[in-house]
């Protein structure tokens, strides 16, 4: 037995809150570059207070493409454990730019060298289910068979299920198969981290996430899925000959099915997400005359604890000393 330990996910929440507050000023203004830049700046400054020696595994890109939060960058104040970190300051930059729902700021963290590094992979096939259905999901099973088994595990009929799918041309056959099987669908233009979180959240109407989305986003979402004992089955799914050739040159197995335990090899994970634009998952940032309110999801994997946190920020007072620009 041990006394309660520090929940580093609460420190990560301060990081995602700062990114959400900074980027939400750009909601619907049609400028995703400035919105993302504001979030990156705020997140990088806030990481300086986190008591870890962190290595960015999933970041904004290589150093020559991103000045901050790039893959391989060291973050944190260096006083705590060595950890792998995945970040997405704005998951859904287009959602933010056009004022659409479900843009979020996200950070995941795991012990050093336990987070899958996707290398040159941009896309992967994903199947995400909550804990109750983790033992029946099968990435290679026909859609009707998967839906039937998952529905039974959840104590539902197939007609009760809601499946999150990205509204992309590549998913036309998948969408037709889901409809033919009788399940319901939520189509989203972007935001497959949010989609994966919806599938494992017991309070959300989404039951399953299916389809091909971003590989970095998959690793990031895996931090939360592992923390809540859900399942994510994945296989790299390159969408161009250049991506396929790069994976082949890197010696990465494109046929291997990787579970959430392959993507994150430890239960000692931490995860935080803060809503930016609001929607079906997390409420967005609401500004007042003197401050703002944010809503966040916080997960500690070792205990399996999931928290929803509403924070009220006095921006006028905070801006008197904070290096982060919230205006």
pLDDT-derived band at 3 (thresholds 50, 70, 90) equals: low
pLDDT of residue 65: 61
For the chain, give the percent of residues with pLDDT over 90: 87
Higher pLDDT, 60 or 110: 110
Where would I find the beta strands (DSSP E) of the chain?
53-58, 74-75, 82-91, 104-111, 123-129, 162-166, 184-188, 208-214, 231-236, 270-275, 286-287, 292-300, 305-313
Q: CA Rg, the chain, in Å?
A: 19
User: What contacts 3, CB < 8 A, 6 or more positions away?
Assistant: none
pLDDT-derived band at 310 (thresholds 50, 70, 90) equals: very high
* Cβ atoms within 10 Å, residue 246: 16
CATH 3.30.200.20 assigned to 8-113+268-319: no
Instruction: Cite the residue boundaries of each domain of the chain with CATH code 3.40.190.90.
Output: 123-263
pLDDT at 288 over 70: yes
Q: What is the pLDDT of residues 129-140, one digit of tens each?
A: 999 999 999 999
pLDDT of residue 66: 62
Q: What is the pLDDT of residues 236-265, one digit of tens each?
A: 999 999 999 999 999 999 999 999 999 999
pLDDT-derived band at 2 (thresholds 50, 70, 90) equals: low
Binding-site residue positions for substrate: 91-93, 123, 168-170, 190-192, 214
pLDDT-derived band at 324 (thresholds 50, 70, 90) equals: confident
Domain spanning 123-263 has what CATH number? 3.40.190.90
Binding-site residue positions: 36, 60, 88, 91-93, 123, 168-170, 190-192, 214, 217
Binding-site residue positions for Mn(2+): 36, 60, 88, 91, 217
Give the position of tokens 């843009």: 103
Q: What is the pLDDT of residues 11-68, one digit of tens each?
A: 999 999 999 999 999 999 999 999 999 999 999 999 999 999 999 999 987 554 667 8
pLDDT-derived band at 315 (thresholds 50, 70, 90) equals: confident
pLDDT of residue 276: 97
pLDDT-derived band at 327 (thresholds 50, 70, 90) equals: confident
Higher pLDDT, 82 or 322: 82
Instruction: Cite the residue boundaries of each domain of the chain with CATH code 3.30.540.10.
Output: 8-113+268-319
- What's the CA gap between 60 and 87, in Å, rounded? 8
pTM, to two decimals: 0.94
Q: Which of 207, 261, 267, 191 is nearest to 231 (CA)?
A: 261
pLDDT of residue 118: 93
User: What contacts 240, CB < 8 A, 6 or more positions away?
Assistant: none
pLDDT of residue 279: 83
Written as six digits, the tokens of 131 are 């804990």
Mean pLDDT of 5-9: 89
pLDDT at 75 over 70: yes
pLDDT-derived band at 326 (thresholds 50, 70, 90) equals: confident
Please tell me which of 57-71, 164-178, 312-326 the model is most confident about, judged by mean pLDDT.
164-178
């Amino acid at each position: 037995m041990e006394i309660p330990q520090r929940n580093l996910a609460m420190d990560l929440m301060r990081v995602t809150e700062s990114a959400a507050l900074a980027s939400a000023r750009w909601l619907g203004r049609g400028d995703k570059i400035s919105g993302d830049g504001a979030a990156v700046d705020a997140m990088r400054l806030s990481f300086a207070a986190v008591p870890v020696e962190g290595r960015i595994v999933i970041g904004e890109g290589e150093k020559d493409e991103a000045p901050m939060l790039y893959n391989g960058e060291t973050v944190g104040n260096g006083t705590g454990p060595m950890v792998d970190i995945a970040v997405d300051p704005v998951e859904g930059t287009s959602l933010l730019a056009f004022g659409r729902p479900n843009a979020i700021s996200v950070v995941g963290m795991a012990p050093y060298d336990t987070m899958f590094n996707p290398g040159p992979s941009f896309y992967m096939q994903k199947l995400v289910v909550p804990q109750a259905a983790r033992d029946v999901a099968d990435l290679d099973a026909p859609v009707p068979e998967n839906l039937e088994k998952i529905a039974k595990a959840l104590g539902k009929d197939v007609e009760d299920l809601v499946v999150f799918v990205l509204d992309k041309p590549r998913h036309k056959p998948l969408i037709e198969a889901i409809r033919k099987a009788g399940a319901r669908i939520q189509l989203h233009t972007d935001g497959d981290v949010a989609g994966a979180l919806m599938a494992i959240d017991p309070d959300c109407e989404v039951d399953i996430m299916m389809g091909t989305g971003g590989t970095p986003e998959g690793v990031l979402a895996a931090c939360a899925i592992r923390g809540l004992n859900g399942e994510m089955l994945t296989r790299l799914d390159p969408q161009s000959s250049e991506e396929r050739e790069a994976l082949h040159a890197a010696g990465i197995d494109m046929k291997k099915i990787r579970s959430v335990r392959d993507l994150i090899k430890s239960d000692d994970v931490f995860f935080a997400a803060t809503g930016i634009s609001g929607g079906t998952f997390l409420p967005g940032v609401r500004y007042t005359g003197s401050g703002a309110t944010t809503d966040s999801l916080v997960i500690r994997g070792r205990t399996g604890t999931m928290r929803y946190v509403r924070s009220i920020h006095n921006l006028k007072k905070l801006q008197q000393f904070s290096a982060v620009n919230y205006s």
